[in-house]
Amino acid sequence: MGRLEGKIALITGIGGGMGRDAARRFAAEGAKVVGCDINAETLDETVRIVREEGGEIAGFGDIDLTDPDVTERWVAEAADVYGGIDILYNNAGIQRFAPIDELTVADWELNLKGELSIVFYAVRAAWKHLAQRRGVIVNIGSIAGIRGVEFAPQNVHGSAKAGVINLTQHLAVEGGPLGIRAVCISPGFVVTPATKFLVDNPPPAVEATWGRIPLRRVGQTSDIVNAAVFLASDEASWITGINLVVDGGGSVIG
């Protein structure tokens, strides 16, 4: 029996690195997955892979979660697919990286919307469904949300993810009496399509940061998804409000 047997899991951004891996692993652990992505092509590919592996999944492409009305409709339709929501896994996000004096106001606002508001919209839409089944919200933060980061200017990305980490705490407080848990996972550097350009051609400052990671390697999507499986499962039924940093120890070194 899988660790998520029978759970209905909505996962956002399943066309990408961590999202695709999450869809595969959650399905392999017995969850019924309902995924979405703004990119219909990569979403279809994930759906194909999960079904080939014997998993149960429904996929919705062309869903732009930065539009609250679109999110509202998607969550309502997604909840209908298998009859409820046990897990809302807010993985999708878009980032803008630029030095603070070069970051445009439009980029700042797009990033806040694409990383922080995106979580609010989905949670707001899913809340009543989660309350019906004592569900769990899994948010994705970042180590950039708990401290400064040396490589690549992450000013707005970090600010948005700090918001996600704090929002998780408030959701835990509001949701607790309803039986809703809310947790956040903050990854360090993970190899995904979004970061492949750095892996393929790392600037010296980036390599230096990796060299200081106590466990001496960068993250793989499975490192994050392993944590998500545990936190979304009933094994974590007395855990809420936490921000679990998964970064090979990179953020604890002085």
Ligand X SMILES: NC(=O)c1ccc[n+]([C@@H]2O[C@H](COP(=O)([O-])OP(=O)(O)OC[C@H]3O[C@@H](n4cnc5c(N)ncnc54)[C@H](O)[C@@H]3O)[C@@H](O)[C@H]2O)c1
User: Rule CB under 6 A: which residues touch ligand X?
Assistant: 12-13, 15-19, 37-39, 42, 63-66, 91-95, 114, 140, 142, 187, 189-190, 192-195
**DSSP 3-state helix, strand, coil percentages of the chain (rounded to 5)?**
50, 15, 35
- Residue closer to ligand X by CB (options 193, 214) is 193
Q: Are 219 and 244 in contact (CB under 8 A)?
A: no
Shortest Å distance, C-beta 244 to ligand X: 12
Closest-by-Cβ residue to ligand X is 16
Shortest Å distance, C-beta 70 to ligand X: 8
- Residue closer to ligand X by CB (options 46, 240) is 46
- Residue closer to ligand X by CB (options 120, 179) is 120
- Residue closer to ligand X by CB (options 12, 168) is 12
Helices (H) and strands (E) in the chain — how many of each? Answer: 9, 7
d(CA 81, CA 101): 46
From 187, 8, 177, 165, select the one nearest 88 (Cα to Cα): 8
d(CA 186, CA 250): 12
Shortest Å distance, C-beta 139 to ligand X: 9
Shortest Å distance, C-beta 14 to ligand X: 7
- Residue closer to ligand X by CB (options 16, 55) is 16
From 179, 175, 190, 173, select the one nearest 226 (Cα to Cα): 190
Shortest Å distance, C-beta 209 to ligand X: 12
